[in-house]
Amino acid sequence: MPIVVGVTFRSAGQVHYYDPGGIELREGDAVIAPAPRGTELGHVMADPRELAEDELEEPLRAIKRKATEADLRREDENRERERRAFEICAERIHEHGLPMKLIEAHHTFDRSRIVFYFSAEGRVDFRCLVRDLAQELKARVELHQVGVRDEAKLIGGFGSCGRPLCCATFLSTLHPVAIKMAKEQNLALNPSKISGVCGRLMCCLSYEYECYRRAKAESPRVGSTIELPQGVGKVIEVNVIKGTVTAALEDGTRVEVDAECACQCKAVARPAEGQPQQGREPTSRASAEAEPAERTPESARQVAAPERREGAQTETSAQGAGEKHPRRRRSRRSRARKPKS
């Protein structure tokens, strides 16, 4: 297995694996390495380690060198260039009247290109903008449109919990979040409560989803009947955090028991083979008694429906064969028998 080192080129950015190339590296070291858009200055995220080849998502490239003091000064100069380029791009967007929101400007370490990130509701024709920026900045210009989640990751901010956004601090990859995760955790489906600053579902909904799913799979379902020492009860609530199950007894009282105890009670409540289930006989008898009364009208409608359909088909076929309506024949005969005046 090859020895690799993880490098990221921005805060909470994607981690890329490189070949150390014999260079002694430690976590936090600044290095110069080839990136998808040119040479970049990045930081080592972890000490070198062995990694299986099937886990590599891209070809393994070698790190050029450790960053020197001159490289760090050049990086500071690039940050100043980015601020100036951001102001110029914002002015040109206003001049052209383009419906786009400029988010960030990024200058590569080798200054071969500058990348602008923006958000917009639809497609934007920015060809004239690119020509103007390339002539003024004297570099290759690229514009990339991003979504609302990437916009929050680039800008940063604070969530409803009072902490910095997860996507801007440690989430290198934005995974999809579904409303099912909020339902599984018994959260109120209020958009203002479960949505982040980007307007989408909060990423933290996926943190404890698997824990809730496994805990609920090992607990009795809501609505099932279990046999407790106090009597037979119906499960009305499962509290995953407390690890308890609340059941309503036949007399209306509520009992809260441990989830493990409830699972054992549920197993005991299952009838043996060949025996009828307890607690469900009245329901089965009621449904069995009500079943004939419910099926009788449906069966009558099903029998009557073919008769009506057959009559409709016969009438249509008679008209299609060119036969006249009986009423029209009788009316003509009556007119024929009427003596002429």
82: domain CATH number?
3.30.300
| pLDDT confidence tier of residue 116, bands split at 50, 70 and 90 | very high
Q: CA 22 to CA 20: how far, in whole Å?
A: 6
Considering the domain architecture, whether residues 61 and 9 belong to the same structural domain is answered as: yes
Span 69-91, pLDDT tens digits: 999 999 999 999 999 999 999 99
Indicate the range of 216-225, 256-265, 281-290 predicted with least confidence: 281-290
Considering the domain architecture, whether residues 202 and 228 belong to the same structural domain is answered as: no
Which domain, by its residues, includes 242?
218-269
For residues 231-244, give the mean pLDDT. Answer: 84
- Answer yes or no: is pLDDT of 101 > 90: yes
For residues 195-211, give the mean pLDDT. Answer: 91
For residues 310-328, give the mean pLDDT. Answer: 42
**Is 286 a domain residue?**
no
| pLDDT confidence tier of residue 288, bands split at 50, 70 and 90 | very low
Considering the domain architecture, whether residues 102 and 132 belong to the same structural domain is answered as: yes
Strand 49-50 and strand 3-8: the pairing is antiparallel
For residues 176-184, give the mean pLDDT. Answer: 91
The residues, ordered by sequence, that sit 6+ positions from 7 with a Cβ below 8 Å of its Cβ are: 15, 16, 17, 18, 31, 33, 42, 43, 44, 45, 63
Show which of 19, 47, 67 is a domain's final residue. Answer: 67
**Is 241 a domain residue?**
yes
**Is 124 a domain residue?**
yes
* pLDDT confidence of residue 243: 83
**Is 292 a domain residue?**
no
| pLDDT confidence tier of residue 285, bands split at 50, 70 and 90 | very low
For residues 271-285, give the mean pLDDT. Answer: 43
Considering the domain architecture, whether residues 50 and 90 belong to the same structural domain is answered as: no
Task: State how many domains the chain has.
Answer: 4
- Answer yes or no: is pLDDT of 292 > 80: no
**Is 330 a domain residue?**
no
* pLDDT confidence of residue 277: 45
* pLDDT confidence of residue 332: 52
Considering the domain architecture, whether residues 60 and 86 belong to the same structural domain is answered as: no
Q: CA 45 to CA 8: how far, in whole Å?
A: 7
**Is 9 a domain residue?**
yes
Percent of the chain whose predicted confidence (pLDDT) is above 70: 77
For residues 23-31, give the mean pLDDT. Answer: 89
**Is 321 a domain residue?**
no
Indicate the range of 96-105, 197-206, 261-270, 321-330 predicted with least confidence: 321-330
Considering the domain architecture, whether residues 85 and 137 belong to the same structural domain is answered as: yes
Considering the domain architecture, whether residues 190 and 253 belong to the same structural domain is answered as: no
- Half-sphere exposure (CA, 13 Å, Cβ side) for 84? 9
**Is 336 a domain residue?**
no
Q: CA 279 to CA 102: how far, in whole Å?
A: 65
Residue type for position 284: S
Count of CB atoms situated within 10 Å of the CB of 152: 24
* pLDDT confidence of residue 306: 42
Considering the domain architecture, whether residues 83 and 53 belong to the same structural domain is answered as: no
Greater confidence (325 vs 205) lies with: 205
